[in-house]
Structure 1
């Protein structure tokens, strides 16, 4: 079987969605699927007319004997006429709905939801990266459940991080600095914990949402946390591995997650977690592995962080539960197998 995976923008970008796409391209060949990458314009999910014209031409040029899978960052923003003009069944890979990105105007969010609903109505197969997203696509986007397959992201095995008693507790948050990730809420929470001994590293791109980055820097300064909070920016895989190894507690203040790959990476290393329950994160983080709090609630986030920062025994118990859960996570070959099975039945 031949497959063309169409992805907008830079495939090497350090985000969970692009990591998922790269893993598929790497693992599908072992399952008898010759997978190749088709680069689409970088303007999605806000494509220009030229972006759409270029996308239409590239999709139409895909060899007739190849299956076509389009990453949701582009698929959800494709007008129905471009999907039809591809001249073949087109499948969609949905990480999370475009209209659920934080910071959009109500009109823009509604337009994205309406556009994605129309595009998904034409998809031969829809592959969702979490059970939560699959349910959302069925209930809110009208995708028939029988056309949806779930292929959760893989999590490579990783060395266990041995719990440390402190007193200094190193917090780690992983993810692009954008409004959806809730870093402003995290800073508000941490500003109530200055009596405790902690530091925070945020590892994630600073290039996607410059206004959010500037606002976050301002909040950190205003809270007097400049000596405690470091914005590391996008880091290499080796550098991220070192940050995980040095961490005592992983934290996510995200307002919405389609899955939460940074959460499972923490579980794979046995790191205790404090995470919000936005979107699929409520299902990704198991009970006992830390603390779960409502998204956007700085007071609840502060209370949960205080519990684990102040109590090394509590952290150690959560770490043990985290490690046990991490050993049950699917790996990338399993993810690729689920995608392959879905494509072969489309």
Structure 2
């Protein structure tokens, strides 16, 4: 049985701190075990001293799959470990696109890795373009989706859903500004499902902005939902809204489509490449609340449009990537470097 040491952030199993990267890590961890790998997991706080202690305990010549968030926060530990074990870094996103503080750590950690697995073609292309990884050292394993029932939604199309941590890069401020222009329309509500603890000041501002715009009672910051709660949210949703400023792939978009829920999203990062050819996805310019407002207004007043997008979402739902395919690709990369 092949052994792989999987080093992940300590939050991946915390229901209060759900993230797309954590979802990916859990599927890879569990999927590798199901296919016969001996997966030895170390959950660690992404900080130099903690990561160094974990990596030092891994035997010489071993194989380690390290989450990118862990790697970029502890580049010295990755550099030291790579001299005696095979380190593969799992890059969920371009860390330097979100934080200048992580740029140097990203450069050093990726340079030290034996191989890098990017979770979208866009992330791979950006890492190569910026000179952070040589093209022959980086592979792509896109996220998958789980089987799910078709969402029933509502008769009027008025239940909007946004899924993701409440933070500036997810664009919830743009969403509230767009919704503020729709106060004249009745029968809609928007549920924002995602942690409000990552950036509490921003989350407070979102709630305040909604209240100031007179739509506070129609915009619900639901916080992190359990798996069952999120399934219920998708089942009741008519459309997913993803107004991100930065997005490497868009797991929430894929999950919505798997439920037969149409999507209105910004054409940023890896979203156009991953979903641009899907008829159930409406792509808009990023950072344009007016364009988002117009798109949502059209959605809510045009039942023919809603019916067409819903039919497209239902028809295409079985063509999405699956998690077993993602796990198989990760396993193939790990086999190639051990």
> What is the TM-score normalised by the length of structure 1?
0.91
Distance 1:335 1:79 in 2: 26
Displacement, 1:118? 2.0
1:65-214 equivalent positions in 2, closer than 5 A: 66-80=62-76, 82-85=78-81, 87-101=84-98, 104=99, 109=100, 111-162=101-152, 164-166=154-156, 169-197=158-186, 198-214=188-204
- Tell me the residue number matched to 1:297: 288
Distance 1:334 1:59 in 2: 28
Displacement, 1:142? 3.2
Distance 2:137 2:216 in 1: 49
Displacement, 1:162? 4.1
Distance 2:40 2:103 in 1: 29
Question: Where has structure 1 moved over 3 Å in runs of 4 or more?
Answer: 162-165
Matched, 1:279 2:280: no
Distance 1:22 1:290 in 2: 27
Q: Is the 8 A contact 1:204 1:233 kept in 2?
A: yes
Aligned residues: 330
Please give the root-mean-square deviation of Cα atoms over the aligned residues, in Å.
Answer: 1.6
- What are the superposed Cα offsets for residues 59-92 of structure 1, whole Å, 9 maximum, x if unpaired? 0111335310110001122224642245212110
| Match of residue 315, structure 1, among 288, 306, 325 | 306
- Tell me the residue number matched to 1:27: 31
Displacement, 1:340? 0.3
Distance 2:49 2:138 in 1: 28
Displacement, 1:6? 0.3
Displacement, 1:120? 0.7
> What is the TM-score normalised by the length of structure 2?
0.93
| Match of residue 42, structure 2, among 38, 43, 56 | 38
- What are the superposed Cα offsets for residues 197-228 of structure 1, whole Å, 9 maximum, x if unpaired? 31100011111111111111111111111111
Unmatched tracts of structure 1, length 5 or more: none
Q: Is the 8 A contact 1:90 1:125 kept in 2?
A: yes
Distance 1:270 1:327 in 2: 10
- Tell me the residue number matched to 1:249: 239
Displacement, 1:9? 2.2
- What are the superposed Cα offsets for residues 71-121 of structure 1, whole Å, 9 maximum, x if unpaired? 0001122224642245212110000022212xx5xxxx1x42232112211
Displacement, 1:31? 2.6
- Tell me the residue number matched to 1:343: 334
- What are the superposed Cα offsets for residues 26-82 of structure 1, whole Å, 9 maximum, x if unpaired? 1102333211211212xx3xx3xxxx1232121011133531011000112222464
Distance 1:228 1:150 in 2: 40
